[in-house]
Amino acid sequence: MELERLALALRPRSSWEAIDLGIRFGVANARTLYRGYLSVALPLALLCYGIAALTGIEPWWPALLLWWLKPAFDRVALHLLGHAVFGDQLGPRALWRALPGLWWRGGLLRELTLARLSPYRSTVLAVSLLEGLGGKAARRRRSLILRQVSGTALLQTGLWPLLETLFVLSVFSLSLILLPSELLEQLDWEALWWDEGRQYWFIWLYYLAFQTGSCLLEPLYVAGGFALYLKRRTDLEAWDVELQFRRLARTLPVVLAILLAGFLWQSSPAQAADSQREAVLQQADVRIQQILEDPVFGETITEHKLQKRSRPASTDDQPGRTWLEGLMRWLDLEGLGKALADLIGFFASLGRIIGWLLIAVVVVLLAWLVARTRLPARYARQAAPPAELAGFDIRPESLPDDPAAAALLLAGRGDLRAALGLLFRSSLSRLAHDEGVRFAAGDTEGDCLVRVHRQARAHAPYLARLLGCWQRLAYAHQSVDIGEISQLCEQWREQFSVEVPHGT
């Protein structure tokens, strides 16, 4: 068998997929298939129905006979499909010539009697027809072929009669849709079919539709079964692998031969090349002299090449240098070349300096970034302190010249709340503006204390005490000793001593 001529793609398939492929193949070869099939089935059907019509036999007798003879027609369909699979489109003439052989070849008798009602008949038909097996061998072969596909084969055989019925019903539905309604009203449907007053034309019409459907669908059923058979053969004998191997075998020897040849002959060409090289080298000096005697080489030309100083060897293949060289040779301007070389050297050192400068800038930038995030507040660039903090106005201009004195005055008047508020406000103002503590606009009193603790540790205990006092008075409404307030005022001067002369 020449698998390479197969018109079907070989690959592992599920059973249903195989049946789909078979039907698709049948439809794709519909011309050959139906021409051949009908050339056999149509005359026989006409003969049967003709005899029935002439002798007055009920038409279901020829219908039954033709139905019973289906395996004989299946053989015709399979013969056509078997050739089509290898690309042979058999015409009716070739088919008729093969017909006696098809029917007399063993197995038809069995198919028409014992196996007529077998649900697997289209799948195993190829065993007797194409493989030509008979008897015990055929039985074993059939069971092997059916082993994994019997369920699908059975369902397939069950589905086609449904489709035939569907065909008949569709034909009648279609004619009902297309017939004029006046005509339909005159018809008595029951009377058409049943004994009294039944209409022969209607019954004959029914058998016409039935027989047409049967003739149209039977070849496709055979095609489905044949594809199932091919699927089993492909699975059992790895036809797809064989095909792959055959294709590969055609290309592989060439590749391997080239590889092998390369391997075997590698040593001797290398030796030959070595001896040749020696000979050339020995003659080299003489050859060079001969060539230099040519008038073209009569004069001495000094050339200046632009080369990278550190690596002169590897610059040979730089395109920029070769065109420059060519240009200079063309111009024959040695001085210009020299000047150009100097110029380029100057630019090179300039570039180097700029590079170092860039690196320095980057280093400085990095240092600045580190300083900004890591170093204490006073070294970092300051944002302007907020005007208001924790509900207090901390702008320096809003404060009295000597806040401590002013606070003491207020305390003396009994306004302890205002005195402590002023003291706290001025502390925050000094811390923000003079000590560089970076308060944020939304800081609460507690946040302020935390920041002072981090950024101006020296002032933290005082501020903590002041804040405690303020909170006791303002929020807890506890009485605060006036002596404590005057003490805080004095300490304020000590804490922010730099500002005392300024205040007084």
Partner 1 sequence: MLDTLRPVTTPELIEIRLHPAGLLPRALAWLIDLMLRFMLLALAGNLFSLLGEFGSGLWLLLFFLIEWFYPVLFEVLWRGSTPGKCALGLLVLNDNGTPVGWGASLTRNLLRTADFLPFGYALGAVSMLLHREFRRLGDIVAGTLVVYRHTTPATLIPTATPIPPTAPLGREAQRAILAFAERAPRLTPERQEELAALLPTLAHGAQPPQGAARLLRLANHLIGRQA
Q: From the CB of 231, what's the least distance to partner 1, in Å?
A: 11
Between CA 44 and CA 81 the distance in angstroms is 21
Q: Which residues contact 13 (CB under 8 A, 6 or more apart)?
A: 21, 231, 234
Q: From the CB of 86, what's the least distance to partner 1, in Å?
A: 13
Among 65-73, 241-249, 264-272, 339-347, the segment contacting partner 1 (CB under 8 A): 241-249
Q: Which two tokens stand for residue 271?
A: 């030796």
Which amino acid, one-letter code, is at 259? L
Residues binding partner 1: number (CB under 8 A): 53
Q: From the CB of 255, what's the least distance to partner 1, in Å?
A: 7
Alpha-helical segments (H) within 130-180: 135-146, 150-178
Candidates 113, 143, 199, 244; binder of partner 1 (CB under 8 A) is: 244
27 binds partner 1, rule: CB under 8 A: yes
Candidates 177, 296, 301, 313; binder of partner 1 (CB under 8 A) is: 177
Q: From the CB of 7, what's the least distance to partner 1, in Å?
A: 6
Between CA 478 and CA 9 the distance in angstroms is 99
Residues 125 to 164 in contact with partner 1, rule: CB under 8 A: 155-156, 159, 162-163
DSSP state of 389: E
Residue 310 host element (H or E): none
What does the DSSP assignment read for 46-65?
Answer: HHHHHHHHHHT--THHHHHH
Q: From the CB of 164, what's the least distance to partner 1, in Å?
A: 12
Candidates 131, 235, 443, 447; binder of partner 1 (CB under 8 A) is: 235
Token pair 């606070």 is found at 407
CB atoms within 10 A of CB 312: 10
Q: Which two tokens stand for residue 71?
A: 């395996």
Q: From the CB of 9, what's the least distance to partner 1, in Å?
A: 4
Among 236-244, 285-293, 371-379, 385-393, the segment contacting partner 1 (CB under 8 A): 236-244
Residues 248 to 277 in contact with partner 1, rule: CB under 8 A: 248-249, 251-253, 255-256, 259
Q: Which residues contact 337 (CB under 8 A, 6 or more apart)?
A: 304, 306, 328
CA distances 323 to 136, 326, 329, Å, are: 89, 5, 10
Residue number with CB closer to partner 1 (155 or 327): 155
Between CA 486 and CA 420 the distance in angstroms is 10
Among 192-200, 232-240, 350-358, 392-400, the segment contacting partner 1 (CB under 8 A): 232-240
Window 184-223: contact mask with partner 1 (x via CB under 8 A): ------------------------------------x---
Q: Which two tokens stand for residue 61?
A: 């007798």
Q: Is 305 left (phi over 0), alpha (psi -120 to 50) or beta?
A: beta
CA distances 31 to 37, 64, 80, Å, are: 10, 27, 11
Q: From the CB of 153, what's the least distance to partner 1, in Å?
A: 11
Q: From the CB of 306, what's the least distance to partner 1, in Å?
A: 46
* Dihedral sign, Cα of residue 352, residue 356, residue 357, residue 362: positive
Q: From the CB of 88, what's the least distance to partner 1, in Å?
A: 15
| 3-state secondary structure at position 20 | helix
CB 48 within 8 A of CB 64: no
Residue number with CB closer to partner 1 (139 or 246): 246
Between CA 383 and CA 370 the distance in angstroms is 17
Residue number with CB closer to partner 1 (7 or 327): 7
Window 28-67: contact mask with partner 1 (x via CB under 8 A): x---------------------------------------
Residues β-bridged to residue 388:
393
173 binds partner 1, rule: CB under 8 A: yes
Among 16-24, 185-193, 270-278, 346-354, the segment contacting partner 1 (CB under 8 A): 16-24
Burial class of residue 280 in the structure, from the number of CB atoms within 10 Å of its CB (0-12 exposed, 13-18 middle, 19+ buried): exposed
Residue number with CB closer to partner 1 (160 or 462): 160
Candidates 46, 47, 51, 166; binder of partner 1 (CB under 8 A) is: 166
Residue number with CB closer to partner 1 (25 or 496): 25
Candidates 139, 147, 198, 247; binder of partner 1 (CB under 8 A) is: 247
Among 171-179, 197-205, 383-391, 402-410, the segment contacting partner 1 (CB under 8 A): 171-179
Between CA 82 and CA 73 the distance in angstroms is 14
Residues β-bridged to residue 422:
none
Contacting positions for partner 1 (CB under 8 A) = 6-9, 11-14, 16-17, 19-21, 23-25, 27-28, 155-156, 159, 162-163, 166-167, 169-170, 172-174, 176-177, 220, 224, 235-238, 240-242, 244-249, 251-253, 255-256, 259
